Amino acid sequence: MSSKTRAASPVLLSGGNPQIAKGDGDTPVQAYIAAMPGWKQDIGRRLDALITRTLPDVRKAVKYNSPLYGAVVRDDWCLSFHCFERYIKVAFFGGTSLRPMPPVESKTPGTRYLHLHEGEALDEVQLADWIRQAGTLPGQRL
C-alpha cells in the first residue's frame, strides 16, 4: 500500500469508530458511513436512508466522530449513531419520551439507546416510529 493510499484512509478509533472531521451537512455524514468498517457500513447506509425518508427535512452533521441528525427548525439534535467493536449504538436524545422506549438505558438524562449487532434483523418499522417521534421532541444542543 502506498503512503498516499494510507493517508487517504480514515483512522479507526477505539472499537472501530471512524475518525471523521467535524462538519455540517450530508457530505461529512456520507464520509463517516463510507469509513464504517465491515458489516457496519451497510447498517449505516440503511440507518441514514431510513432517517432521511422518515424526516425529509432532517439536518445532518458529524461531531464527536458521530453522525448527528436534527430538525431543521431547531438548533438541536434528536439522534446519532456510533460504531463500537461489536455493535452500532443508536442514541435517541429524547429516548425516555419515546413509546415504547428504546431498550438500553443511558447515564445521560433523557437518552436511550438501541444496539445493533451483526446478523440481527433491523426492525425498520420500529426504528422509523422512534425516528418520527424523536423528530418532534426537543433534542440535545451539542
Length of the chain: 142
Q: Which of 16, 22, 19 is nearest to 38 (CA)?
A: 16
CB–CB of 31/62 below 8 Å?
yes
CA atoms within 13 A on the CB side of 109: 0
Q: What is the DSSP string of 70-101?
A: EETTSSSB-EEEEE-SSEEEEEETTGGGSSSP
Is 121 part of a structural domain of the chain?
yes
**Residue 141 belongs to some domain of the structure:** no
Which residues constitute the domain of residue 119? 3-136
CATH (domain of 9) = 3.90.1150.200
| pTM to 2 decimal places | 0.90
Q: What is the mean pLDDT of the chain?
A: 91
Phi, psi for residue 117 in degrees, rounded to 5: -105, 155
Q: Which of 3-17, 51-65, 82-96, 120-134 has the lowest mean pLDDT?
A: 3-17
Residue 142 in this model has a pLDDT that exceeds 90: no
Instruction: Give pLDDT tens digits for 79-127.
Output: 999 999 999 999 999 999 999 999 999 999 999 999 999 999 999 999 9
